Amino acid sequence: MKIIRSVAEMQKETLMHKENKRSIGFAPTMGYFHKGHLQLIEEAKKENDIVAVSIFVNPLQFGENEDFGRYPRDEKRDIQLAESYGVDLLFIPTVEEMYPTKPQLNMVMVDRVDVLCGKSRPGHFDGVVTVLAKLFHIVQPNRAYFGLKDAQQIAVVDVLIQQYNFPIELIRVPTAREDNGLAMSSRNVYLTEQERAEAPAIIHALQEAKSLMENEERHPAVIVEKVRALLQQHTSAKIDYVELLSYPELKTIEQINQQVIVAVAVQFEKARLIDNIIYHP
């Protein structure tokens, strides 16, 4: 495994692989690896000659009062894990390497971001598409791998790739979960023991939503209220949002008659957790 910290060196390396007709699978990450990252890498290994992974905690996608400074980092452990997972190219740039000058050309999402995390994290997805456009040019992937836990991120990356004609296939990888159903997240380390015991209530509430839809419930409000009630009943977390929207368009709907997402964000004392299910009636 090559560990690369310079943009120029990474780009040279990936262009060389492309010239030699080797396909590149790419998983962009913020590090602090867990099983979810491993699954992205496993999928990438199946379908590509070269697996590239980036570790970059992107300041542009964090709001002023968010956890950029204390986002969990453990580079040494991540390097060991990446090596053991069979990663070929591990790209770990600094903030200065990625953003050497102040911004002169911004990317601004004007759709799919006025809901869910986009509403509570203004500018977040602008930061996401900006760093991904850069990383896609640096890494030159044939396929890019994203976890469905960040379903809105996938909907946004879909826009980036389609609208700007990136020659990249977007691969959606199912959310990795702990045995009790809790969605894997680097932020789970910030849960107290009590919160960790409560957190599986999130997926249980979403499963109840799915079960209602399977039983022909077609009113979004009924589903949303049920999920809210279950979260309030079983966790101490503050509900940031519970929303049911069309997917991947992320529009509010009157009736459930197309593919939808039921998505949740809750704020525990030190960790904001998200989860979702996607359902097609």
Does 129 interact with a copy of itself (rule: CB under 8 A)? Answer: yes
Rounded least distance, CB 253 to a copy of itself, Å: 18
Measured between alpha carbons, how far is 113 from 223 in angstroms, rounded to an integer? 22
33 annotated to a ligand binding site: yes
123 annotated to a ligand binding site: no
Does 3 interact with a copy of itself (rule: CB under 8 A)? Answer: no
Q: Which parts of 167-196 interact with a copy of itself (CB under 8 A)? A: 167
Does 105 interact with a copy of itself (rule: CB under 8 A)? Answer: yes
Does 245 interact with a copy of itself (rule: CB under 8 A)? Answer: no
Applying CB under 8 A, what is the total number of residues that bind a copy of itself?
Answer: 32
149 annotated to a ligand binding site: yes
Q: Which of 61, 257, 273, 261 is nearest to 151 (CA)?
A: 261
Stretch that binds a copy of itself, among 161-169, 229-237, 252-260, 264-272 (CB under 8 A): 161-169
**Annotation says 37 is catalytic:** yes
Q: HSE (CB half, 13 Å, CA atoms) of 279?
A: 25
Measured between alpha carbons, how far is 111 from 118 in angstroms, rounded to an integer? 10
Among residues 37, 137, 219, 280, which one is catalytic? 37
Rounded least distance, CB 155 to a copy of itself, Å: 10
Interface pattern 18-57 for a copy of itself (x via CB under 8 A): xx-x------------------------------------
Measure Cα distances from 118 to 96, 108, 114, 245 in Å: 26, 12, 6, 13
Measured between alpha carbons, how far is 135 from 146 in angstroms, rounded to an integer? 14
209 annotated to a ligand binding site: no
Measured between alpha carbons, how far is 100 from 38 in angstroms, rounded to an integer? 31
CA dihedral 206, 208, 209, 212 (to 10 degrees): 160
Among 40, 55, 81, 109, binds a copy of itself (CB under 8 A): 109
151 annotated to a ligand binding site: no
Q: Which of 11, 5, 8 is nearest to 90 (CA)?
A: 5
Q: HSE (CB half, 13 Å, CA atoms) of 148?
A: 16
147 annotated to a ligand binding site: yes
- Rounded to 5°, the CA angle 262-182-81 comes to 120
Among 24, 151, 160, 244, binds a copy of itself (CB under 8 A): 160
Do 277 and 207 contact (CB within 8 A), yes or no?
Answer: yes
Among 101, 215, 233, 255, binds a copy of itself (CB under 8 A): 101
Among 80, 84, 94, 163, binds a copy of itself (CB under 8 A): 163
Measured between alpha carbons, how far is 60 from 129 in angstroms, rounded to an integer? 10
Rounded least distance, CB 13 to a copy of itself, Å: 12
Does 164 interact with a copy of itself (rule: CB under 8 A)? Answer: yes
Q: Is 173 exposed, middle or buried (0-12, 13-18, 19+ CB in 10 A)?
A: buried
Contacts with a copy of itself, residue ranges (CB under 8 A)? 7, 11, 15, 18-19, 21, 101, 103-112, 129, 133-134, 137-138, 140, 156, 159-160, 162-167
Q: Which residues are annotated as a binding site for (R)-pantoate?
A: 61, 153
Q: Which residues are annotated as a binding site for beta-alanine?
A: 61
Which residues are catalytically annotated? 37
